[in-house]
Amino acid sequence: MINLLPQKEKDELFLKKAKNLAIVLGSIVIITLVCLIFVLLSVKFYVLTEVNGQSFILQDTQKNYESPDVVTVKNSIQKYNNSLPTVLSFYQSDKYLSNILAAISEIEKPNGLYFTNIFLDSQAIGGNVKVNISGTSDTRESLIAFQKNLEKQNAINNISFSPESWINPVKANFNLNFDYGN
């Protein structure tokens, strides 16, 4: 086909074609932007509703965690967490209480002699464990026999009974200190 139109009309047709192309492309861009705005608005509203719902749940949870029971549990957990380093250092010092308690329980005790308290202190100097035992004895002779049995043990040193232990001849309360060394 031969284009016999004058140059002026060719330019007008070209401008009209460019104008139509610009209108089509512009409307595509505008429609795309409008759709994008709608999508972003729907995402915004979804996020806002989720945030409001989660903030309600958060406030409810905070109220639950501020209840007296939870505060009491939290304080006890913190107390135990604070004592864990002490337990860890004791464990790392390789002093096993079960061995010490087994050695103490293997010492021959006369009839009528009973322990009421046993206190072990592993922080003693020299690697020994300081042991404090309190209890009752039916007679002073039972207490003397127990002292002799303690003196026979090689791992037990520095045996010391409190002076009050020897006052009563019957139903005596005693307090005993000694060092236990491996």
What is the full per-residue pLDDT of the chain (182 aa) written as tens digits? 577 778 888 899 999 999 999 999 999 999 999 999 999 999 999 999 999 889 888 888 888 878 888 888 889 999 988 888 877 776 666 556 777 788 888 888 888 888 899 888 776 566 678 889 899 988 888 888 888 888 888 888 888 888 888 888 888 888 989 888 76
C-beta neighbour count of 150 within 10 angstroms: 18
Give just the sign of the alpha carbon dihedral 81, 83, 87, 89: positive
We report the CATH number of the domain holding residue 171 as 3.30.70
Beta bridge partners of 180: 129, 156
Q: What pairs with residue 136 in β-bridges?
A: 114, 173
In this predicted structure, what is the pLDDT of residue 85?
A: 83
Kind plus residue range of the DSSP H or E element containing 25: helix 7-65
In a domain, residue 105? The reply is yes
Selection from 129, 126, 127 nearest residue 103 by Cα? 129
Confirm whether 29 is domain-assigned: no
Predicted local confidence at residue 20, as pLDDT: 95
Q: Is residue 107 part of a domain?
A: yes
Q: Is residue 81 part of a domain?
A: no
* pLDDT of the residue at 180: 81
Examine residue 102 and state whether it is found in any structural domain, yes or no.
Answer: yes
pLDDT of 154 reads 83
Q: Which domain holds residue 165?
A: 97-180
Rg of the Cα atoms in the chain: 45
123: in domain: yes
Cβ atoms of 127 and 155 within 8 Å: the answer is no
- Number of neighbours of residue 131 by Cβ within 10 angstroms: 22
Number of domains in the chain: 1
**Residue 116 belongs to some domain of the structure:** yes
Cα separation of the two ends of the chain = 115
Residue 141 within a domain = yes
